[in-house]
Every structure is written in structure tokens, then in C-alpha cells.
Structure 1
């Protein structure tokens, strides 16, 4: 792919957004699908002792979520799974413990992965691409994190070792809940003896060193809460782990993450490029509001799912409408067909519209696609040789 540097933001996506460039559409869908994999593989079955983990091994992740031949499985191999916890407190002062698996004494969940281009993928893409993908909110503690709007200094990220207390560089303030999820540890957890921040930076450093003689790109992607973590993580990588390599972030449906200082730091990192993708009817990117000290980070691509003739427009209620507008598959469908602010919607990417209904009821009835069709067969129940049924599953 000869133009990958342009698509990764080398010229700040100048001239590629209105109307949306065909190659950039494909690029965004590619990385959006890698973020979607984190939802599709997450074990949310509370009856499972592996609730909160990934259902699949690293070797089979892409094939199990439908990104097999010709897609991510061909181009990438997963090298590390990422797990997050939080030190945030709920009002009564106790940590919220919500998982149903056997190790109930902590809240620690699979939240994403790191992947690197295979040799074949590197040839096809024109460089060795490293991807970090983050999922959005699912677990109870994560919902608590989402609404912790207080701003807190992100000192470990933005103050390097050796900086004195009198350094003149302003430390950005970031969303307390997102920051806690990104930086917290839990000594009781086999998954979070180190923070998810340390997990991902260690793996990025290892991969950068492994492929130091090749041209590298680092691409970070995520949706909703995952988009907020994407923003923090991309800045962190560009500043602290890969200063000499191009880092690009594609946050989908990203809430505001920090104050104007965060935007200033991000803008001054020569190797960092951030393109937020926002659906106009989605309210999440507008929160927390600027009045409480928040600012925007990066450049934005505005899309509008309300223009799609494939999606239902008979809204059964505000909550359903907001959920539909925020859904990642709706975002990817809209990227496939948006023609800009002045033109009508027209699908130009051959991407199955049935994917819209994986996790919601969004397509018009005339297309004959059942709602909420992405489920594990029999919810993991397996018939044994004696005819009885048992929940047989694994966790990674």
C-alpha cells in the first residue's frame, strides 16, 4: 500500500475527509473491525467461570470473529492480550466487584490486544504495522469509570524520569475514570499485577526492538471507552515508547478525555496523528461538556448514520436511538457509505449490511436480518456423551 503514510495522517488527512477518500474508508473499516473483534470475543456470560476474559486463544481470535481469509488473520498475528482493573471507588468507599468467575476477589477484565503484521502482511501493507485494539464499556466497574468526570493530573504519563519538580512543562489533566482504568494495578489479580498501561508499553517496546531494522507504524484503535483509552495510549506510546516511529490513533465514538493541555501535548508530538470518527446523532463524543474543563484532541471525521436508507428511522425511544447511533457496527456501516455533509448516502465499500444487526436491531425489516444475531452457540452449553448438558468453555 503505497499511500499508507497519507492514510495514517502524515498530511493531517488534508483533502481526504470531505468527501471521504475511498482508500481511507477501507483503512478506517480495517482498523474499526479490529476494534470490533474485542466485543465479539468478550465472554460476558456471568455463569461462566471465565466471565470477563476472551473466549478465544490469540492464535484463533481473528478467525473466530469473522476476520479470517483476506482480512486481519492473513495480515496480523496477535502477540499479547491486555487486561485492565481500576482503583476507583464507588460512593460507599468499597471497590466494586462484579465478576462471576471463581476468582471473585478482584475486578480484572480482558480489554484488548496487541497484534503485529505477519511477513506477508508487511509486504502487502508496505511496512510492519503494530496494532493496539481496545474495547468499549461492558463490565460494571467500567460503567462507574465512565461517569467519573473529575480531572486528574496524569503525571506518570507526562512527566519523565529525571524531570524535577520545577519543570515548566504543564502536566495535562485527564478524565479520572479513564486514567484509573489505564494505570491501576491489583496485586491479588494474576492479570493485573501490572497495569494495562505497563502491559501495552512493554509489548510495544519489545516489538519495536524486534523489528528495529524495518519501517514501522503503530496504529491504536478503539470504540467508546476504548476510544478514550486509545487516545491516552497513543499519546503515551508516541511520547514514551516509540518516539522515533509514526503513531496513528483512530478512536471511534470517543468521549472527551482531558483538558486543553492534553490537546496541546498531542499536537506537539511530531510522530502522533489522531483522527476521531464521530457519528452526528451520537451524544457520547460531546461529553463530558467543555464547561467542566474538557477539550477535544486531534482531527475529526463527521459521519451521519441518519442518512443511511438501510437503517431503521422509526425510533422506539431515546435510549434505543442513542444505543443505535453509538454502536460500532453502525459507525462502520456509515463509513462505508458516507458521501460528505452535502451528499446522500451511497454504499461504495462491499461490506455486508447484515453486520449492523450483530448486536442490535438496526436494519429495516425488509432486509430479513434477525436482530442481535451474534451469539455463542447455545450460550456455551455443550451436550455430553451421556446426553446431559454442561457449560463447557475456556478463557484467555
Structure 2
């Protein structure tokens, strides 16, 4: 049957309209797919398989804090979260309430605190890494990072080599008050080496002999209930000052005490043990300062019937000093539970030192990054010598690592440059980033990691350029200068309570509370009323 010309024309128009609608739909789908690919296919995606991430997350048993996180609905989500891809540059633009807290809610670990501190040598806790243990490692890592963030290393500062803040507000200034600890004492160390003139610190008015090396802190009541005991914590700073670098290079072994078979690196021991009656801050060595405070706190809290532990932490040189501190504390107080959590620490002593620490019961967890060279020092030949352990195992001149190891690989993170950068791979913030993303030795980077990525570039340039985070961004505005009321740019003076003080006098304890050390701006600490300090 033939169609009329009018009917045929109408049919062709209908087919044409259907075809155009079909092509519009196809083009629209292609545009959406192209947009999706442009948003998600960053360089980091080439390093990370989304499917593997989702598989590994689904394989991990959800915790209570993860469930609560899912219930908390956020009004805005960036495209990277909607499409389940790694962070992109847009995630670091402040768009308001789309940001998530950097940490998940804390869990009560009172029933397992001894296992988390090595009572069973971390068996079945490191690979895969227990989520509550991960949080504890990050906590102590942030305490170690505080020794860098608060250290005044400005050569033009009259307080160069000291801590910028007094002990009562250091955690508040650095955002660590939420951890529930309070600082009880600062530690100063004497670097007893002859430094060339071109390396000597200039403009140093407060002390030309000593450097601030760390602090002693203790858990508050609420945190003590969560972690199951009163935790005394000592944090040691890593190498910054030129004289400390000279000490690090002194790799000879010498006895740590009367036991001549127990030997440690002489440079580390020199920083820990040196003192000088003619100095203001090191009439007592760092060893004597820290042990006096640890003994005082242990006696006080045990006198109140509390269970007490000592946790020593540090990064790089700080990790070495932490081991020396733990050795001395366990020798002085044999029944005290002592553990060390170190980051990027070098070898410290010989086989006699390792065996003595094991005999004393000091529990040590070393966090190391595969690409970091510092944990392989001192003694570059040690790795080869260890292969002939039957012949060299008892040689006193061979350095040995101690404790258990949590080994991380920088190449597992999709956010890090895969380039050779010795200083960047040794950076403590990179260690904390990798710890936060570690699930197991056979897994990729943890998708649900929440630690702030921008912190990696605080003192390095290790983040991939796609994220557009500035390198080495942690510095004071205007390099520390401020505009005063007269319109002049000046260096700000320190508040009286932030000026270093070398001595300590304990105020009497009231209502069963521990004695307090009161800082004085004139360099002598005196008791004061209402908990305030002042010159006499």
C-alpha cells in the first residue's frame, strides 16, 4: 500500500526527531562520562586501584566509631568522595561543612593497654595493624612532633635553642590538648663537642651551651581511665642543632655503665649524659633531669594506689635517646612497665645492649620507612654482617637494632612522590601519614585514613603536585616579625612565662595533688600563690 506524499513526509520527520533525541541522549551520556573521567583520573589514580581499596575496606570489620561516622550525614561532599577516588586538590579548599574530623572517636583500651605496649611483643597486632594500636602510635608520634614544632631554631632569636612556649600551654598552642596529657618538666641537653666557628650559634642570649631536648608529661585523669593506667610519657627531640649533628657522627661504642659488655654510640651517650657546673641549664645532665622527674611521678602516683607505666618516644636522634632513657629507667625501677615507640631511629648499641634491654623487659616498637636511610645507621656494614650472625653475633663492635619493627613503604601511598628524597623520607610527618594509611604488608594504602594530608608538606615537599599543597609551608607569618602600634616592624618579645628557666622548686602538694614546678621569667623558679609565677 502506497503512502501519500504528506504521510511519507510526516513519517520521515518523526523518524528524524527520534534519531536526534537518541543522539542527544548518547552525547549527554558521553559528556557525563568524560566529565567523570576528567575529575577522577589524576596521577594518583594511576598509583592506586579503587577496586582494591574498596575490597580492602570491606574486608576490615567495621568498628563502632566507623558506624557512628556513617550515621553522621554531611550536607556537602566533594566529587572525589562521591566517586570513591583518592583526595584531589579541591579537597583542600575550605568549602565549609564538607570537611570531616581528622580523627575518629577514641576507644577505651584499658583492657588491652599492656598488649598495645608490647607485653606479648605485639604478636598478631602489627600485620594487620590493629586500629586501636594505630591510634596509640599516632598519639605518641604527635607528641614527638611537638618537640620540633615548638623548638626555636631561629638564629636571629635571642632564645634560639629553647622551647617557644612554657610547659602549661605547649599542648594548647600545638593542638594536642585533646590527647589528655599535661607537661610536667622540660629537658635540656648539653652538646659537648668543639664546633667550628662557622657553625656556632650567634645572637644566643639565653644559653650558649644548652638546647631544649624534650619534655616529661603525664596522662590526666580522664585519659588515664581510657588507657587503663597513669601513663608517664617522655618525648625526645631529633637532630636540629649543628653540634648535635657532630655528636651523631661520633660512631664509636663505649660502655653505658659499669657493665663493659653493654656499649652504645658515644655521640648519643654524650648528649644524654653530659653536664657542666658552669652552665645555667645543664648543671644536671639530660639523664639526671628526666630520671628525677620520672622517679618523682612514679612515687607520687603509686603512693595514691594507681597503676603506672612509662612510655618513651622520639624521632631520629630522639628515638636513640628514648632507648637510653628506657634502659636507665628500667634499671632504676625494675617493676615499672617501660615501653619505647620510636620513629626513624638509628641503631644505638651493640649486641650486649640489645640483650640487656631484653633481659630488663623493655618493650620497643620501631616504626621505620623502607626508603629512609637513618634506621640503617650507624654501621653501614651491619646488614652484611648480620648474614653471618653465627660468626659476628657476639662481636661487641657490631651495632644491633632492638625490639619489634613496623615497616612502612612510602610507595604504597598514592599521595607521595615516588622520588629519591633522603630528607623527605626521614620526615616525621611522612611517618605519621604512612602509619595512618597502613593496613598490612600485603594491602594498599588504607582508604579510610583520616590524618590531614597537608601535614606531610609541613616540613618537606613529598606530596604529589596534583594536590597543590605548598612545600615547607610551616613557618611564622612575616618570618616572625610583627607590626607594632607605632607602625614599625619588630621582633615580638616573649611573654614572661615563656622565657626559659633553668631551676625548679616544688610547691607543696595540696589535697593529694602532685607538686608543681613554677616557672620564673628571671631564670629562677619560685613558689607563687594561685598557681601563678612571678619574680621574687
Instruction: Give me the TM-score of the superposition, normalised by structure 1.
Output: 0.89
Q: What is the CA RMSD across the aligned residues, in angstroms?
A: 1.8
1:144 and 1:99 mapped to 2: Cα distance? Answer: 18
1:122 and 1:333 mapped to 2: Cα distance? Answer: 26
2:211 and 2:300 mapped to 1: Cα distance? Answer: 28
Aligned to 2:508: none
Written as runs of structure 1 = structure 2, the 5 A alignment for 1:154-303 is: 154-155=256-257, 159=258, 170-212=260-302, 213-240=305-332, 242-270=333-361, 272-289=362-379, 290=382, 293-303=398-408
Written as runs of structure 1 = structure 2, the 5 A alignment for 1:46-195 is: 46-68=155-177, 71-72=178-179, 75-89=180-194, 97-103=200-206, 106-155=208-257, 159=258, 170-195=260-285
Say if 2:185 and 2:216, in contact at 8 Å, map to a contact too.
Answer: yes
1:311 and 1:324 mapped to 2: Cα distance? Answer: 10
Structure 1 residues 355-364 or 192-201, which shifts more?
355-364
Aligned to 1:378: 478
Say if 1:303 and 1:340, in contact at 8 Å, map to a contact too.
Answer: no
Shift of 1:95: 12
2:117 and 2:198 mapped to 1: Cα distance? Answer: 40
Say if 2:156 and 2:202, in contact at 8 Å, map to a contact too.
Answer: no
1:229 and 1:54 mapped to 2: Cα distance? Answer: 18
2:213 and 2:448 mapped to 1: Cα distance? Answer: 32
2:238 and 2:284 mapped to 1: Cα distance? Answer: 21
1:303 and 1:191 mapped to 2: Cα distance? Answer: 38
Shift of 1:59: 1.2
Shift of 1:87: 2.2
**Deviations 1:208-240 (Å, cap 9, x if unpaired)?**
011012011110000000011011111111112
**Deviations 1:156-215 (Å, cap 9, x if unpaired)?**
xxx4xxxxxxxxx55411101000000001223211111000000000001001101201
Larger radius of gyration: 2
Aligned to 1:308: 413
Question: Which runs of at least 4 in structure 1 moved beyond 4 Å after TM superposition?
Answer: 94-97
Shift of 1:97: 4.2
Structure 2: which 5+ runs fail to align? Answer: 1-108, 386-396, 501-536
1:304 and 1:393 mapped to 2: Cα distance? Answer: 43
Structure 1: which 5+ runs fail to align? Answer: 160-168
Written as runs of structure 1 = structure 2, the 5 A alignment for 1:7-46 is: 7-46=116-155
1:30 and 1:386 mapped to 2: Cα distance? Answer: 43
Aligned to 2:47: none
Shift of 1:298: 1.2
Q: 1:97 to 1:187 in 2, by over 3 A?
A: farther
Instruction: Give me the TM-score of the superposition, normalised by structure 2.
Output: 0.67
The structure 1 residue matched to 2:455, chosen from 355, 359, 367, is 355
| More helix per residue | 2
Shift of 1:103: 4.6
2:202 and 2:232 mapped to 1: Cα distance? Answer: 31
2:116 and 2:281 mapped to 1: Cα distance? Answer: 35
Say if 2:310 and 2:336, in contact at 8 Å, map to a contact too.
Answer: yes
The structure 1 residue matched to 2:443, chosen from 343, 350, 354, is 343
**Deviations 1:142-163 (Å, cap 9, x if unpaired)?**
00011100111112xxx4xxxx
SS of equivalent residue, structure 1 residue 371 = coil
How many residue pairs get aligned? The number is 370
Aligned to 1:368: 468
RCO higher in structure (CA 8 A, sep ≥6): 1
